[in-house]
Amino acid sequence: MRGPLGAGRLAAAAVLALSLVPVGIGPVEAQRRAFRGEASYYAKKLDGNAMACGGRYRPRKMIAAHRTLPCGTRLKVRNRANGRVVYVTVKDRGPFGASKRILDLSRRAARRLHFINQGLTKVRAVVRR
């Protein structure tokens, strides 16, 4: 049996230990980073297809596919050729195949970044949340 002094030290140690635990750091915050590569966009024929994170692909939504980022991750994507910026949400997995490609974007996002005619563009993406 511990005396009052031992119990007090134990309680103080517990409070100190709990105060050192980081609060509010989830998987997205741990991955806060920027990355560069090529982006493409979804083909028209994919309209209505199921996405890996649930829901259906709709060309008018501001969405992206990424190989590893958690579903729901928000990205700021900048077209390195013209400086245009869009904000998208990761809702699918991909792109698969070409290793230079880091994102597949919805047609709306590609249109806003002005690379519909080119099909591919170099981008810089930053995890926002």
pLDDT greater than 80 at residue 2: no
Strands 63-65 and 101-105: antiparallel
**Is residue 114 within 8 Å of 84, Cβ to Cβ?**
yes
pLDDT digits (tens, 9 = 90+) for 86-97: 999 999 999 988
pLDDT greater than 60 at residue 116: yes
Q: Give me the CATH code for the 25-127 domain, please.
A: 2.40.40.10
pLDDT digits (tens, 9 = 90+) for 39-84: 999 999 999 999 999 999 999 999 999 999 999 999 999 999 999 9
